[in-house]
């Protein structure tokens, strides 16, 4: 275990901290009491450990993972973007514009043949076409956009390997 004043690293986490993190990744709704039983400690020290892990940034937030299919967003598309020009202002404007698009659920600045990789959720192909023409197409300085359509999710995990 680490002191409050120390900045923890993975090496400073003990086996109980790691087990708590793994259990919370599986089910963030688990109660402190249930968590305490699984790590064989009483609830108070487990609560303190979880708070410490949150305060030190190991746990960013708790979320509900929703079903895109149930919410009419069943088509996943990966879209590679190349910008026409590469200046700080153009890059920052592109990022600002992309963050405003609800269909874009992830955006990565990448190396290689493309500048950005977008993960887009839409209802179907017609809605993706509408997204490309009426939303993505309005963003300035996009040189090209190459789309890859997901046919089947073979593996999807939100867990960080620890």
- In the chain, the largest separation of any two C-alpha atoms, in whole Å, equals 58
Give the Å distances, CA to CA, from 50 to 3, 24, 53.
14, 9, 5
> Is residue 141 included in any domain, yes or no?
yes
Please tell me whether residues 143 and 79 are part of one structural domain.
Answer: yes
Does 156 map to a domain?
A: no
Residues 48 and 100 in one domain: no
Shared-domain flag, residues 26 and 83: no
Q: Is residue 128 part of a domain?
A: yes
One domain, residues 89 and 135 = yes
Q: What phi and psi, each to the nearest 5 degrees, are found at residue 70?
A: -70, -20
133 occurs within a structural domain: yes
Q: Is residue 158 part of a domain?
A: no
Name the residue range of residue 93's domain. Answer: 75-149
DSSP one-letter code for 6: S
- Does 159 fall in a domain? no
CATH number for the domain harbouring residue 102 = 3.30.70.920
Distance CA 123, CA 2 (A): 47
In a domain, 50, yes or no: yes
The answer as to whether 62 is a domain residue is no
User: Model pTM?
Assistant: 0.85
Written as tens digits, the pLDDT of the chain (162 aa) is 444 445 555 568 999 999 999 999 999 999 999 999 999 999 999 999 999 999 999 999 999 999 999 999 999 999 999 999 999 999 999 999 999 999 999 999 999 999 999 999 999 999 999 999 999 999 999 999 999 999 999 999 999 999
What's the domain count of the chain? 2
């Amino acid at each position: 275990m680490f002191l409050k004043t120390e900045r923890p690293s993975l090496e400073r986490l003990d086996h109980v901290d790691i087990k708590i993190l793994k259990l919370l990744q599986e089910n963030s709704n688990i109660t402190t009491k249930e968590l305490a039983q699984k790590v064989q400690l009483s609830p108070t020290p487990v609560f303190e450990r979880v708070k410490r892990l949150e305060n030190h940034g190991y746990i960013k937030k708790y979320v509900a993972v929703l079903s895109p299919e149930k919410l009419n967003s069943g088509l996943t598309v990966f879209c590679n973007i190349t910008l026409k020009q590469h200046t700080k202002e153009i890059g920052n404007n592109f990022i600002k514009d992309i963050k405003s698009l609800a269909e874009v659920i992830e955006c990565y600045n990448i190396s290689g043949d493309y500048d950005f990789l977008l993960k887009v959720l839409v209802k179907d192909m017609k809605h993706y076409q509408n997204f490309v023409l009426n939303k993505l197409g309005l963003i300035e300085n996009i040189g090209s956009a190459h789309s890859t359509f997901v046919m089947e999710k073979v593996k999807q995990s939100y867990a960080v390997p620890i």
